[in-house]
Structure 1
Amino acid sequence: MIFTTANQTLMNTITKRIQSIDVLRGIIMALMALDHTRDFLHIDAMTEDPTSMATTTPFLFFTRWITHFCAPTFVFLSGASIYLQSIRKTKKELAWFLFTRGLWLIIAELTLVGFGWSFDYFFRLFFLQVIWAIGCSMVILSGLIFFNYRVLAALGIIITLFHNLMDHATIADPDLDAAANLLIVTNFAPYTVGPFNFISAYAVLPWTGIMLLGFAIGKWYNTAVYTAQQRKKALVTFGLSLIALFIVLRFINNYGDLQPWSAQAIPVYTVLSFLNVTKYPPSLMYACMTLGPALLALAALENIQNKFTGIMNVFGRVPFFYYLLHVYVIHLLCVVVFYAEGYEFADNFKLQMAFGFRPRENFGYSLGIIYLLWLLVLVICYYPSRWYNNYKSNNKKWWLSYV
């Protein structure tokens, strides 16, 4: 009787959602909306690179830089969630779930998500982004999940540490080059398959490595193995270690990123150059720079409950629903601006770009207005997300775990 009660208590602890993970996921997804609002509605989004030292401003640079934390933390926390699922599911059950959910996310990227970004009902271009990378990584993990924990943790470390060895590789064979671009490097080269064009922005394997790292730290949330104090110590220790590794590698300025930093004419721009690391694909330095603070944030958020964390918790509990919703909300705002400025449907898609309803390159608003529009997007997305979170919490239908 005592054993049964203790075992049930342990399972209840393990299966209970971990608020700090949901809150951090919600924070980075809210920041994600800032970047995407800028993509659609900033007047210089199609003409100025926010990370170009020649043209950027500190305000614009950090508007882009802060959103660098979004994709790696999103993928990393997905890996942690997969570990937590592995506690309550058999390996066979988890493998099937990862395989089917991964396929669903791939299909969603090519349909619902892709259309939300482009509003092009001819689907002339498939721009493969974070949902694609997560879906492919889940399919890969559906096979890897049969190996033990140490193998998966080691694979995550190896991929993250060494995929930059491909930075300067030259591949002469076009088919191999296409495969490499899909899997490990990113050159944004378009590829044609029949009537369809594809651009891979998220090379799969580096993101799979980050997901595996998230799977590895998921074990710290297993109360049968780690106490809360041990977990917090591990989060802080490894978080600070990753930040230190980023700083050391960045000063060495040799391996771990495609873009070396350089001294600039103005000191603040030297700092910007130092922080300007490569997201496509996520370099070793990029992973250290973003995941280190993410681990510290997980430690800091464990015992914080207030109105802000409550709102972020809602976003973090329904990540795919929110992701899909915020893309459509932002793009519909772009459509409203398009027609408000007097354009007609025939003016659409005249420019060669992935986003519909941007009729010219210098279309949209200043960066200050973008921040106001971003807050509007969050308000619009909050109430449907809260409704769906309540619906999901009160229903046990199988398909809810896929949305």
Structure 2
Amino acid sequence: MNQLIATKKRVQSIDILRGIIMIIMALDHVRDYFHSDAFQHDPLNPATTTPLLYFTRWITHFCAPTFVFLAGASAYLVGLRKTKAELSGFLIRRGIWLILIEVVVISLAWTFNPSYNSIIFQVIWAIGISMVILGLAVRLPYGVIFALGALIVLGHNLLDYPEAAHKHNVSFIWDLLHDARFDNYTFAPNHILIIAYAFVPWTGIMFMGYCAGKLFAPTVDPLKRQRSLLIIGSGLIVSFVVLRLLNGYGDPQPWAHQQNGLATFLSFMNINKYPPSLMYACITIGPSLIMLALLEHVQNRFTEFTKVFGRVPFFYYVLHLYLIHILTVIAFYISGYGSKDIVGQSPFFFRPLKFGYDLGMVYLVWVVVILLLYPLCRWYNKYKSTHTQWWLSYL
């Protein structure tokens, strides 16, 4: 009985960190819709960005890899109270469900196009297909899963070389697997599929998260867990610095000396997310592991606030996209645009290329979004904690 209670106890640090990254994620998506420069220039380009804009975008690099990693860790913890067969079935069903949601619900949230002329494979798709693969893999020994995850994370950048040799003119399947540079594929007249997230590198991160979940088992001493997380996290950060200084393997974007020290630093830190490179994984997962260690026993108003979002991440994710786009529609009409401007050059309705505000307004809208979502997420978290319907595990 004590073991059963222990396995059902939520791990606070995971919920807090997941809540923090969900909040930061909203900043990036608000910037996409509300910043005047979002569709004009790359915010990470040292030649055209500003330090504030750069770090507004760069800080959100932590979101996707940490979320995928924690999804893997959570899968391990779920498996503590299920048989391997039950865990496998659950992960496969949930993964297929997430892919369906990406196509039907999330793409609509991004585009507001009821005709679905643009379907976008983004992070939910990547999590879904990775979850299906993990569901198939959980029957394997733990060591094999770890080896597969490490092989993918450490070795997938070898594929950068043939991709570069072909100038990224690769097949649809290759794009799904690894390249994924927002290429468009027509699948019906006037309908395109946009591949933003190639799943293989993300599957590697989820596998590693699953293996890291072992550190959060109820039998692990908290001090040992914290020490392990600090050591592994610090090691990943050191690995990033060494690899980046070598400026060779581990990221397809080499850094270069710029006109001044700050610009050179921005170039140094500009690592590749699409797909997530080895260096990208090191510098995002490393600090996240350190955060997990430091948040183990922290309890204050901030952590209680963030835990609300961390306990209902999927509910939050769907809501925040629709809320941001609805606020964009309001701003669209306030800015003087009309019906003729709804459909523009981008796949996102109500978001013209020349539209938006400065970063101050972006941050203001971000705060408003978080404050509006908090009571809804708190209500849903309370509902989930007091109800046991089967469908709650999918939302």
- Aligned to 1:194, which of 181, 188, 199? 188
Residue number in structure 2 paired with 1:401: 393
Normalised by the size of structure 2, how large is the TM-score?
0.97
Residue number in structure 2 paired with 1:43: 36
Matches within 5 A, 1:53-202: 53-170=46-163, 177-195=171-189, 196-202=191-197
Deviations 1:204-228 (A, max 9, x none): 010000001100110001122x211
- Aligned to 1:374, which of 362, 366, 369? 366
Q: Which amino acid aligns with 1:103?
A: I
Deviations 1:293-315 (A, max 9, x none): 00000000001011111110000
Deviations 1:105-137 (A, max 9, x none): 000000111100000011011111000100010
Structure 2 contact 149–208 (Cα < 8 Å) conserved: yes
Is 2:210 the partner of 1:215?
A: yes
In 2, the alpha carbon distance for the partners of 1:186 and 1:53 equals: 23
In 2, the alpha carbon distance for the partners of 1:133 and 1:342 equals: 37
* Alpha-carbon offset, residue 187 of structure 1: 2.5
Structure 1 contact 127–354 (Cα < 8 Å) conserved: no
Q: Which amino acid aligns with 1:366?
A: D
Q: Which amino acid aligns with 2:292?
A: L
In 2, the alpha carbon distance for the partners of 1:304 and 1:341 equals: 44
Q: Which amino acid aligns with 1:273?
A: S
- Aligned to 1:206, which of 201, 210, 220? 201
In 2, the alpha carbon distance for the partners of 1:346 and 1:60 equals: 31
State the number of aligned residues: 392
* Alpha-carbon offset, residue 263 of structure 1: 1.1
Q: Which amino acid aligns with 2:272?
A: T
Q: 1:119 to 1:300 in 2, by over 3 A?
A: same
In 1, the alpha carbon distance for the partners of 2:107 and 2:310 equals: 22
Q: Which amino acid aligns with 2:96?
A: L
In 2, the alpha carbon distance for the partners of 1:288 and 1:211 equals: 14
* Alpha-carbon offset, residue 328 of structure 1: 0.6
Residue number in structure 1 paired with 2:221: 227
Structure 1 contact 103–136 (Cα < 8 Å) conserved: yes
Q: Which amino acid aligns with 1:30?
A: I
Structure 2 contact 183–196 (Cα < 8 Å) conserved: no
* Alpha-carbon offset, residue 175 of structure 1: 11
Is 2:349 the partner of 1:356?
A: yes
Over 3 Å off, 4+ runs: none
* Alpha-carbon offset, residue 368 of structure 1: 1.3
In 2, the alpha carbon distance for the partners of 1:305 and 1:221 equals: 18
- Aligned to 1:385, which of 348, 368, 377? 377
Any idea what SS the aligned residue of 1:190 has?
strand
Q: Which runs of 5+ in 1 are unaligned?
A: 1-7
Q: Which amino acid aligns with 1:368?
A: G
Residue number in structure 2 paired with 1:18: 11
In 2, the alpha carbon distance for the partners of 1:185 and 1:262 equals: 23
Structure 1 contact 206–281 (Cα < 8 Å) conserved: yes
Structure 2 contact 102–125 (Cα < 8 Å) conserved: yes
Is 2:56 the partner of 1:30?
A: no
Structure 1 contact 206–282 (Cα < 8 Å) conserved: yes
In 2, the alpha carbon distance for the partners of 1:192 and 1:355 equals: 17
Any idea what SS the aligned residue of 2:337 has?
coil
Deviates more, 1:191-200 or 1:69-78: 191-200
* Alpha-carbon offset, residue 176 of structure 1: 6.7
Any idea what SS the aligned residue of 1:168 has?
helix
Is 2:247 the partner of 1:247?
A: no
Q: Which amino acid aligns with 1:303?
A: H
Q: Which runs of 5+ in 2 are unaligned?
A: none
* Alpha-carbon offset, residue 188 of structure 1: 2.0
How many percent of aligned residue pairs carry the same amino acid?
A: 51
In 2, the alpha carbon distance for the partners of 1:314 and 1:115 equals: 26
Q: Which amino acid aligns with 2:203?
A: T
In 2, the alpha carbon distance for the partners of 1:332 and 1:223 equals: 43
In 2, the alpha carbon distance for the partners of 1:135 and 1:154 equals: 21
In 2, the alpha carbon distance for the partners of 1:77 and 1:176 equals: 31
